[in-house]
């Protein structure tokens, strides 16, 4: 294995002066035509401002960490995420990548321990930071959409749904304070799947009737988890409870119809299906956006709110034109 396979780059500007990162930081160098990684700062030491200034003076924009230390680095970055988002030295693509990696890391922890109030608190801070990035960067939409994962895992799907849903909601003109509660609900919309047997969740073949009945329970199981967690707004539960409801009344768990479904539930339904179709599964290739929308329009007719679905198509079209 090439030595470089053991390391990964991190953006220098995500490292704050006079802080302890928690993992070793390396500089990449070339020695006799070979890549070498030289220890620059021990993970237990404070990285002083003069060391960062020295790197900046030499036009060094990236440091490197051991790949096995990625979780430590992401926990460090998470603590200063809002500062990173507001740092004009970091371009929007790099900000989007950092936010997305931190988001997936948080959701991995959430799905491993869904009842932890600490992880929920982290997730809510993430939503606030993501909204900040979306609001303050006019080019955020395209940058973020371009880094969404095309591989389907429950935790990455949850992140995709939250981010895409927030971008769409901003396009709809939903107010800032509402974006927070909506984003939280979108991020946790599938948390009930943590209570479903993994062999059902990961099954490659079509589910039988008994298995499908079981997996449908994730909606109420998720709502039950969140109602026991402090500081979750009741409005955040609409995307959780209603993301499988259909406007024609053929959804679950309550077969709600039309305006009986909350606007946030309708948004969650559209984004949930779209992301599922456009990400790669073990049993199905990812669909292209046009194909996914075509399936949603023709094969799922009546499932979605017509006005919102039309606006979603326009939203995606606006993104692709930039």
Largest Cα separation within the chain, whole Å, is 69
For the question of residue 104 being annotated catalytic, the response is no
List the catalytic residue out of 95, 193, 266, 287. 193
**Residues with Cβ within 8 Å of residue 18, at least 6 apart in sequence:** 46, 47, 48, 49
H helix or E strand, kind and range, residue 136: helix 117-136
User: Is residue 21 within 8 Å of 73, Cβ to Cβ?
Assistant: yes
DSSP 7: E
User: Is residue 24 within 8 Å of 69, Cβ to Cβ?
Assistant: yes
**Residues with Cβ within 8 Å of residue 87, at least 6 apart in sequence:** 13
CA 114 – CA 104 distance, rounded (Å): 14
Burial class from Cβ neighbours inside 10 Å (0-12, 13-18, 19+) for residue 188 reads buried
- How many CB atoms neighbour CB 207 within 10 A? 13
Active-site residues, by number, are 193
């Amino acid at each position: 294995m090439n030595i470089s396979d053991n390391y990964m780059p991190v953006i220098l500007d995500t490292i704050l002066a006079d802080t302890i990162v928690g993992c070793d930081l390396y500089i990449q160098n070339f020695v006799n035509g070979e890549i070498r990684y030289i220890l620059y700062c021990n993970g237990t030491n404070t990285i002083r401002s003069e060391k960062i200034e020295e790197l900046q003076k030499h036009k060094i924009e990236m440091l490197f960490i051991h790949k096995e230390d990625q979780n430590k680095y992401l926990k460090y970055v998470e603590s200063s995420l809002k500062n990173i988002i507001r740092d004009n030295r970091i371009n929007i693509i790099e900000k989007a990548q950092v936010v997305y990696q931190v988001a997936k890391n948080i959701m991995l922890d959430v799905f491993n321990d869904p009842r932890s109030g600490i992880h929920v608190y982290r997730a809510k801070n993430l939503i606030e930071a993501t909204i900040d990035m979306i609001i303050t960067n006019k080019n955020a939409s395209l940058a973020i959409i371009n880094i969404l994962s095309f591989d389907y895992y429950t935790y990455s799907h949850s992140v995709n749904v939250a981010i895409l849903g927030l971008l769409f909601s901003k396009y709809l003109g939903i107010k800032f304070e509402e974006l927070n509660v909506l984003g939280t609900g979108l991020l946790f919309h599938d948390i009930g799947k943590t209570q479903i047997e993994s062999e059902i969740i990961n099954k490659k073949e079509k589910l039988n009737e008994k298995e499908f009945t079981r997996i449908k329970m994730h909606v109420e199981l998720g709502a039950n988890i969140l109602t026991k967690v402090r500081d979750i707004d009741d409005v955040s539960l609409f995307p959780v409870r209603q993301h499988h409801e259909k406007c024609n009344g053929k959804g679950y768990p309550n077969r709600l119809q039309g305006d009986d479904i909350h606007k946030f539930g309708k948004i969650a339904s559209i984004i949930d299906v779209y992301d599922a179709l456009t990400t790669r599964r073990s049993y199905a290739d990812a669909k292209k956006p046009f194909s996914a929308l075509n399936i949603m329009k023709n094969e799922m007719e009546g499932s979605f709110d017509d006005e919102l679905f039309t606006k979603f198509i326009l939203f995606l079209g606006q993104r692709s034109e930039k």
